[in-house]
Amino acid sequence: MNILLSKPHMSGREMIYVEEAFSSNWIAPLGPNVNAFEDELGKYTDHAHMLATSSGTAALHLALMTLGIEKNDLVFCQTLTFVASVNPILYVGATPVFIDSEDETWNMSPEALRKALVQAATKGRLPKAVIVVHLYGVVAKIGEIRQICKEFEVPLIEDAAESLGSTWQGLMTGTIGDIGFYSFNGNKIITTSGGGMLLLGSDSQRQHALKLATQARENELHYEHEEVGYNYRLSNVSAGIGRGQLEVIEQRVRARRNVFKRYERMFSEMDVTYQQEVPYSRANRWLTAMQLGRDVVSRDQLIQHLTGAGIESRPVWKPMHLQPLYRDAEYVTVDGEDVSRRLFENGICLPSSSNMTIGEQQKVIQTVLDTRSFIKEKSV
């Protein structure tokens, strides 16, 4: 592909911290860069209890264990998301219940969530947590969702893997619920190659999560273990990359938002819609996701046409309740309307890298605009 969906964008500062790791021989999954990355991201997000992890998936696994979620517990989760938002529920032996989306942000529907919680309360079996996702960096209706979770006294986990730099009422996503986490995978808005960050609610939670992330060793001279632990800490080298990336996070957010605004402006005459920002929020627009209307070619036709032009694109995440792995899971909608299915069937993600050139984006735009005539010619 000539134009990728979301590629890494180095600041030029990363090697300073990486070389420090090598020169000091701090190569293990601990060290000065790890501590500094936690501190610096804590200052950026105004959050005190940070734990750098080997991935966002590891962070969610630790979050569930920190909350004491175990076999046969229920966890409510947004269905329109990447599978890594859900698989850790199975890691701990719990059972996922999927919640439909709403049309504005494409994220968890507060109305569907309330319906699911009322049903669960009636049965006397409330979930042990709710996982909300800020899909493609667009903030969910987090104020409503947080209030509903408080009413039912259910902890709220924010999957902010895609939304570092997104805000609501001045608060960073990941800091609004009881526990949150970020991902620094290679395609994210900033990267550590692979890595994540867990945001805990207290120092005691952080200490427990740290213990679990380092093989659950007890405080003894010898190696003593009373519970199962994991190797989930971020390496000092990777953390150095993250420090260099974090220095330019606001530049990256501005760049991605500008990419979105340019798409929105250039496609203004097309029958397409986008994720909407809730009041008092800022989306980082990690990816520009677009819904195709009736007057536009099908999603698969558009992807095929873009691919032929050397442009990477991708369908919106396939909802979890439609995945073979989760075919038997409970799924809660509002009035039976499957919003997330419709969003998946008509949704496409366009190249959104912060280091896209104007010329590259113009090529994407022109290719999309040309698609209707291309399809017409093919069908003649």
CB atoms within 10 A of CB 154: 21
What value, to the nearest 5°, has the Cα angle with vertex 68 and ends 64 and 71? 85
Q: What pLDDT does residue 373 have?
A: 57
- What confidence category does residue 29 fall into, taking pLDDT thresholds of 50, 70 and 90? confident
What is the Cα–Cα distance from 312 to 315, expressed in whole angstroms?
Answer: 11
**Residue range 275-292, pLDDT digits in tens:** 999 999 999 999 999 999
Phi and psi angles of residue 99, each rounded to the nearest 5 degrees, phi first = -115, 135
The DSSP call for residue 326 is G
What are the structure tokens assigned to 144, written together?
């409503």
Give the distance from CA 102 to its chain's centroid.
17
Four-CA torsion 331, 334, 335, 341, nearest 10 degrees: -60
Q: What is the DSSP letter of 3?
A: B
The residue-averaged pLDDT of 43-58 equals 98
Count of C-beta atoms within a 10 Å radius of residue 218: 12
Choose which CATH entry (3.60.21.10, 3.40.30.10, 3.40.640.10, 1.10.600.10) describes domain 14-246.
Answer: 3.40.640.10
Measured CA to CA in angstroms, residue 249 lies from 9, 173, 255, 377 at distances of 11, 14, 10, 44
What is the reported pLDDT for 372?
Answer: 66
Neighbouring residues of 359: CB distance < 8 A, sequence distance ≥ 6 = none
Q: What is the mean pLDDT of residues 157-163?
A: 98
Task: Dump pLDDT digits (tens) for 204-245.
Answer: 999 999 999 999 999 898 999 999 999 999 999 999 999 999
Contact between 59 and 230 (Cβ < 8 Å): no
- Above pLDDT 90, what percent of the chain? 94
CA–CA distance, 129 with 145 (Å, rounded to integer): 12
Query: Would you state the pLDDT for residue 380?
Result: 37
Kindly report, residue by residue over 326-342, the tens digit of the pLDDT: 999 999 999 999 999 99
Mean pLDDT calculated for residue range 35-58 = 98
SS3 258: helix
Alpha helices in the chain (DSSP H): 14-24, 32-45, 56-66, 87-91, 110-123, 142-151, 203-213, 236-246, 249-266, 299-308, 339-346, 358-379
- pLDDT over 50 (residue 270): yes
Averaged pLDDT of the chain: 95
What percentage of the chain exceeds 70 in pLDDT?
98
pLDDT attached to residue 99 = 98
Domain with CATH 3.90.1150.10 in the chain: 250-379
Cα end-to-end distance, the chain, whole Å: 28
Q: What is the pLDDT of residue 242?
A: 98
**CA gap 325, 320 in Å, rounded:** 8
Give CA–CA dist 53/40, Å, rounded: 15
pLDDT at 371 exceeding the cut of 60: yes
Indicate the fold that domain 250-379 takes in CATH.
Answer: Aspartate Aminotransferase, domain 1 (3.90.1150)
Q: Which of 22-36, 263-277, 278-292, 363-377 has the lowest average pLDDT?
A: 363-377
337 three-state secondary structure: strand
pLDDT of residue 295 exceeding 80, the answer is no
Give me the amino acid identity at 337: E
Rounded alpha-carbon distances, angstroms, from residue 259 to 173, 201, 287, 305, 342: 21, 34, 9, 21, 25
pLDDT given at position 187: 96
pLDDT of residue 294: 81
Residue ranges, CATH 3.40.640.10, the chain: 14-246
Alpha-carbon distance of 301 to 274, in angstroms, equals: 19
Burial (Cβ within 10 Å: 0-12, 13-18, ≥19) of residue 329 = middle
DSSP calls for 131-187: EEE-GGG---SHHHHHHHHHHTT--EEEE-TT-TT-EETTEETTSSSSEEEEE--TT
